[in-house]
Amino acid sequence: VTAPEPPVRDRQADRARFRKTLARVMIAQVIALLLLGVLQLRYAA
């Protein structure tokens, strides 16, 4: 049993939305790691 397959146009829109979300999450992740890196470099190096 798999999830019902959405129509092709929906799947394309879904993929585009996912790529955008993925990019946002990765940017947020990189910003968080950079801030933690700055904390370490400034105070613990």
Q: For residue 40, what are its two tokens?
A: 């370490």
Among 3, 7, 8, 9, binds other proteins (CB under 8 A): 3
Assess 13 for contact with other proteins (CB under 8 A).
no
Whole-number Å distance between alpha carbons of 28 and 6: 29
Helices and strands, counts by H and E, the chain: 1, 0
Query: In the complex, what is the shortest distance from the CB of residue 32 to other proteins, in angstroms, rounded to a whole number?
Result: 5
Q: List contacts with other proteins (CB under 8 A).
A: 1-4, 17-18, 21-22, 25-26, 28-29, 32-33, 36-37, 39-40, 42-45
